[in-house]
Amino acid sequence: AQSVTQPDIHITVSEGASLELRCNYSYGATPYLFWYVQSPGQGLQLLLKYFSGDTLVQGIKGFEAEFKRSQSSFNLRKPSVHWSDAAEYFCAVGSSGYSTLTFGKGTMLLVSP
Amino acid sequence: GAGVSQSPSNKVTEKGKDVELRCDPISGHTALYWYRQRLGQGLEFLIYFQGNSAPDKSGLPSDRFSAERTGESVSTLTIQRTQQEDSAVYLCASSLSTREQYFGPGTRLTVT
């Protein structure tokens, strides 16, 4: 069965500092990987996705993520965090013929002044 | 264009009552998904509709939960005889293909 682990429940980053959110997955074949962001009271917004090809993918709002098959990881990064990035971030995995996504439990990002 | 919409945005109900939650997917999206998000948890898959195929109900937690979809349009998630553990945010998503899912804002259900 596929699974996703986000080891950090909360992370606090100073505004302007760099950010890395960790995601590890377990999946038997080539995974489809996603990062979503959820602001309070909102639905989930897709930040970026990896299906195949270049393992470094660019997303919206200045985010990027790198797929590392050897480490079963898909960590999310941003070089300089803005206060508006404070939200909850979810990593998810699916398959080429998926009908559903399996989500991690999320990482809450807090941005300090 | 319009995104996925859900109604109501909030629902408070008494234990034992039935509730219906509605999802309007993005027009033309053939696939529709329901997820549940409990406080402090990730999203749990509930049910998936794809075109005219039989729905994948493997995530429904009990027979009190059911869902219907009319063609490739509106879907209704029904919870019968609600329990306090049903309190959660129920999220609907739709997709055009077997790839990106677009989520609605969710319905926050509180069972008192």
Span A39-74, pLDDT tens digits = 987 789 999 999 888 899 999 999 999 999 999 999
Contact map slice: B 48-87 vs A, CB within 8 A: 48, 50, 56, 59
Q: What is the mean pLDDT of residues B66-85?
A: 94
Of A20, A26, A7, A12, which Cα lies nearest the Cα of A72?
A26
**Mutation site, A25, A32, A44, A57, interface B, largest B CB count within 10 A:** A44
Number of CB pairs, chain A paired with chain B, less than 8 A apart:
51
Share of chain B above pLDDT 70, in %: 96
Q: Contact, B55 vs B65, CB < 8 A?
A: no
**Mutation site, B21, B24, B47, B101, interface A, largest A CB count within 10 A:** B101
| Chain B contact for A51 (CB, 8 A cutoff) | yes
Higher-pLDDT residue of B76, B58: B76
Of A1, A3, A7, A2, which Cα lies nearest the Cα of A76?
A7
For residue range B8-62, what is the model confidence (pLDDT) as tens digits? 999 999 999 999 999 999 998 989 999 999 987 889 999 999 888 889 898 999 9
Q: What is the pLDDT of residue B111?
A: 97
What are the phi and psi torsion angles at A57 (to 5°)? -115, 140
pLDDT band at A94 (very low <50, low <70, confident <90, very high): confident
> Is the backbone peptide bond immediately before B25 cis, with ω within 30 degrees of 0?
no
Report which residue type is found at A84: S
Q: What is the pLDDT of residue A30?
A: 77
